[in-house]
Amino acid sequence: MPSSSSMLPTAVVSYGLQSALAVIFVPQANDKFYDLGGALGFATSTFVSLYYPSLKAKYWERIPNAQLPPITSFAPRQLLLSAAVVAWSTRLGSFLVTRALKAGGDSRFDEVKHKPAKFTAFWMAQATWVFIVGLPVYMVNTLPASAHPPLRAFDYFSFALFARSWLFEIVADRQKTAWRRARDNKEHNERFITNGLWSISRHPNYVGEVGLWTGIWLLSVNSLCAPLFPRASWLLAGASPLMTWFLLRNVSGVPPLEKAGNLKYGNDLKWQEYKRCVTLSIFRRYISAPGTLPRHSVASRLPHR
């Protein structure tokens, strides 16, 4: 039966990698590779959660003829979840580190990176994020392949939710990147983006992020309800999308961006109109206050600058 001890190797990898990166980058006050560290954390933790029994037998116990199992030996659910996390982390990590290198750093850490203790705490917080948000995948990977139930309609729906949400995030990132490039090339003089997915949400990339982790969690549920797991395991794994939503909505995502926007554009009537018409999420997209036009028409209501 999977137990808390079966998650220990993954936890060690999650915190060990971030600790090693902190040892390298904190003395340098280098924040350019912080997000890359998070992406590597998800990839390595997923790999260890999937292969740990074989790695232990081969390299720790040195069992003769012990080999890493072929990828086809794992359950389809394990492969889908692991591939989803590795693909997401690779895409997002490369996107964010490229952006940080071009910008010469990450503005979130302009002050923090010069305070070693506080900067180290951020690396440890990232380790906690990697471990808790990845829980559905790591837990599913501890279950023997033969113990997984077959994929059902609910699982295909869950994977579709992941895929659509991931695409939503990618499109939002690319739209903003294209908008910035056009601005830098003097093709427009808009102060902030209001078109594309940014016309239905002020933070569409975060909407996609919460949606994709919700899909990953839902895809894990049927396996986490297997008799080999404690009864509430699927609820514990639900900490993944909840933590994602909480951090983006209340800590590191929306608050600093909204604060920065208000400082830059607070007196701009177009910014005030944009905030009034476009919600943080898309869930109230079609809800309008009495006497106003539908929110989805905001793109046509904001004049081009």
Model confidence pLDDT, tens digit, residues 7-51? 999 999 999 999 999 999 999 999 999 999 999 999 999 999 999
Q: Which residues contact 63 (CB under 8 A, 6 or more apart)?
A: 57
Model confidence at 242, pLDDT cuts 50, 70, 90, reads: very high
Q: What is the CA radius of gyration of the chain?
A: 22
**3-state SS track over the chain:** CCCHHHHHHHHHHHHHHHHHHHHHHCCCCCCCCHHHHHHHHHHHHHHHHHHHHHHHHHHHCCCCCCCCCCHHHCCHHHHHHHHHHHHHHHHHHHHHHHHHHHHCCCHHHCCHHHCHHHHHHHHHHHHHHHHHHCHHHHHHHCCCHHHCCCCCHHHHHHHHHHHHHHHHHHHHHHHHHHHHHHHHCCCCCCCCCCCHHHHCCCCHHHHHHHHHHHHHHHHHHHHHCCCCCCCCHHHHHCHHHHHHHHHHHHCCCHHHHHHHHHHHHCCCHHHHHHHHHCCCCCCCCCCCCCCCCCHHHHHHHCCCC
The pLDDT value recorded for residue 286 is 39
* Segment of 61-65, 107-111, 239-243, 265-269 carrying the highest mean pLDDT: 239-243
The pLDDT value recorded for residue 64 is 85
Over residues 156-182, the mean pLDDT reads 96
How many other β-carbons are positioned within 10 Å of the β-carbon of residue 280? 18
Over residues 167-189, the mean pLDDT reads 95
More confidently predicted of 288 and 248: 248
Over residues 70-74, the mean pLDDT reads 93
Model confidence at 2, pLDDT cuts 50, 70, 90, reads: low
Tokens of residue 241, six digits: 């999308």
Over residues 99-120, the mean pLDDT reads 91
Judged against a pLDDT cut of 80, whether residue 241 lies above it is answered with yes
Average pLDDT, the chain: 89
Query: What is the Cβ-side half-sphere exposure of residue 238, based on CA atoms within 13 angstroms?
Result: 8
Q: How far apart are CA 125 and CA 123, in angstroms?
A: 5
Buried/exposed code over 23-51 (b: 16+ C-beta within 10 A; e: otherwise): eebbeeebbbbbbbbbbbbbbbbbbbbbb
Q: What is the pLDDT of residues 122-168, one digit of tens each?
A: 999 999 999 999 999 999 999 999 999 999 999 999 999 999 999 99
The pLDDT value recorded for residue 296 is 42
The pLDDT value recorded for residue 180 is 93
Q: How far apart are CA 15 and CA 12, in angstroms?
A: 5
The pLDDT value recorded for residue 284 is 52
Model confidence at 3, pLDDT cuts 50, 70, 90, reads: low
Q: How far apart are CA 128 and CA 149, in angstroms?
A: 29
By CB neighbour count within 10 A (0-12 exposed, 13-18 middle, 19+ buried), where does 283 fall?
exposed
How many other β-carbons are positioned within 10 Å of the β-carbon of residue 170? 16
Model confidence at 303, pLDDT cuts 50, 70, 90, reads: very low
Judged against a pLDDT cut of 50, whether residue 113 lies above it is answered with yes
